Amino acid sequence: MNKTAGIVVGLTITAVAAAAVMLWPAAPANPTAAVDRSANAESPASAGGIFDTDADPVMAAVAQVSGDNPMAGIMALRNLAGAVPPNVEAILWLGKFSIQSQQLDKARERFAEVLVHEPGHLEATWELAMLDMEQGQLDQAVVGFETCFDADEAYANGLFFAGRCYRMMGNNAGAVASFKQYLAFAPDTIVANKVAEYIQELEAEING
């Protein structure tokens, strides 16, 4: 992943976590009730104009998908993904576009394929963790979020989502630990104060 794309990923991950913090219900019906999943992926629309598409065939194809000829862009990504050796970033983007079209099983296959070619690929690990959380596979989601954070603190928002998963699993102590660790990385005092409120509520439940 190029440097500019990495910056966009970091910003979008932060935005999703911050939105989730502010909209957190007292007792959510499901672990991602307040999360706009599509906002986590690099949006071709929001990313448009900041990539050198002439130098990067993957981003040129992504620009096509978000432009006037989306199928041509998808076909270009598929050709890149099917090359020998395959272009891993093309596979990753095919997974992201599968999410946008609600083909979640296909998205999962694409992200898993990325990890076959590049074990430890953090963005693919993050995307799988998000899918796991959305689909109720909370224990697997926690592993993914914590793996991302352990490898790169740019994924510190994984601590927040891990806390949500722990809470949904009934592990309030685990949730408190994750939220407390996340506090050091909260993007502003409003978010930090809100997370501190969650911690107080959970500790009251633990001690009550």
44/153: higher pLDDT: 153
- CATH code for the domain in which residue 52 is found: 1.25.40.10
* pLDDT value at 71 more than 70: yes
Whether the predicted pLDDT of 69 surpasses 60:
yes
Segment 173-187, tens digit of pLDDT: 999 999 999 999 999
14 burial level (CB within 10 Å; 0-12, 13-18, 19+): middle
Q: Residue 44 is which amino acid?
A: P
Taking alpha carbons only, the member of 11, 19, 64 closest to residue 42 is: 11
Q: Give tens-digit pLDDT for 80-95.
A: 999 999 999 999 999 9
Q: How far is CA 176 from the centre of its chain?
A: 21
pLDDT at 99 over 50: yes
Number of domains, the chain: 1
Q: Which of 132, 78, 133 has its CA nearest to residue 110?
A: 78
How confident is the model over 140-174, as pLDDT tens digits? 999 999 999 999 999 999 999 999 999 999 999 99
| 76 in Cβ contact with 57 (< 8 Å) | yes
Could you tell me if 185 and 198 are in contact, meaning their C-beta atoms sit under 8 angstroms apart?
Answer: no
Q: Output the CA–CA distances (angstroms, integers) from residue 3 to 7, 49, 50, 88, in the order listed.
A: 6, 15, 11, 16
pLDDT at 5: 46
Structural domain including 170 reads 3-207
Average pLDDT over residues 41-70: 69
What pLDDT, on a 0 to 100 scale, did the predictor assign at position 55?
A: 74
Q: What confidence tier does 21 reach under pLDDT thresholds 50, 70, 90?
A: low
Range 65-103 burial, b when 16+ CB lie within 10 A, else e: beeeeeeebbebbeebbeeeeebbbbbbbbbbbbbeeee
pLDDT confidence band for 208 (50 / 70 / 90): confident
**pLDDT tops 70 at residue 29:** no
| pLDDT confidence of residue 101 | 94
Long-range Cβ contact pairs of 2-5 (< 8 A, separation 24 or more) = 2/51, 2/56, 2/59, 4/50, 4/51, 5/42, 5/47, 5/51, 5/59
